[in-house]
Amino acid sequence: MIATAVDNPASSSGYLGHPDFVMLGALPTSGRLVASARVLAGRIDTRALVEDNRRLPPWAGQGLSFVFRYGAVVSITAPDETPGRIDDALGRYLRDPAGTIEVETAEISLTRHSTDRIGEEGQILLADGDEARLTLVAIVLARSVVLSRDEIAVSQAFDRIAPLVSDLRETGRTRAPVRQAMQLVGEVLAARHRVMAKVQADERPDVLWDNPELDRLYARLEAEHELDDRAEVLERKFVALGDFAEVLLNIIQDKRAFRLELAIIALIAFEIVLALLNMHWR
């Protein structure tokens, strides 16, 4: 089975032929399931995935997978199954593949009870295997694993600027080259755009508009994975990194302006010396 957010607006939203996510396979019949969320790439070409539907390998026996346009994949399988074959089959659709794959897992149980809830050890207990419920779970897990990836990236960025901060504190200047500063600025902007614009980790999923009865489930999932709090902390860190990158660029630009002024002064002095020499020899 292959379904898209465009085919089923209740799941999410798509635009210009680019579905936000694509569903592949079918839910296992087992009552106990495992959800595995991975970040495979910076982006997944979901439109090409839909267009290649007839040429795709059979998905039977590999569980139900949600392939998100912003690079995350969430597979819901039986405990003894692994999503490795799905990841391999999706290889041709990955854009900017991840060097290190971030993974998060969660246990899901279809309890057949009247309410959805989160167990004491974090298990997701669902009243049934309804598509809207599974879509909501997949969206939350996908957002969570992308946040984890960007939390690591931001932490690494702070580690990279630590020597530059030490230089400024100890000597009042920095040895950072222009390219390094520009690369840091680019990485900060890319990560911020990914979290705030593409993943929209702190926004209400579209699936809830047509399924308001799932509001409570979403609130519990969001609280369990702390999506709002983590997105807010990341935003503050992005602002701090952006402020430092701006200071760094200003320092480098001041350096270049000072060197240019020295070059102009040296050129003027050289011309004066030449003029004096010409006057002397005359």
pLDDT value at residue 221 = 92
Mean pLDDT by 10 residues, the chain (282 residues): 44 46 84 90 89 62 86 91 83 88 90 80 86 93 91 82 72 63 69 64 80 90 90 84 74 63 69 64 65
pLDDT value at residue 206 = 84
- Whether 64 contacts 76, CB under 8 Å: yes
Joined together, the tokens standing for residue 151 give: 């939390």
Predicted TM-score (pTM) of the model is 0.77
pLDDT value at residue 93 = 92
Distance CA 115, CA 208 (A): 16
Quick one: which H or E segment has residue 118? strand 117-118
For 6-44, write each residue's pLDDT tens digit. Answer: 444 333 333 334 478 898 888 887 778 999 999 999 889
pLDDT value at residue 7 = 42
User: Minimal CA–CA distance to 8: which of 204, 214, 207?
Assistant: 207
Q: 20: exposed, middle or buried (C-beta count within 10 Å: 0-12, 13-18, 19+)? A: buried
Distance CA 123, CA 47 (A): 33
pLDDT value at residue 6 = 40
First to last CA, the chain: 94
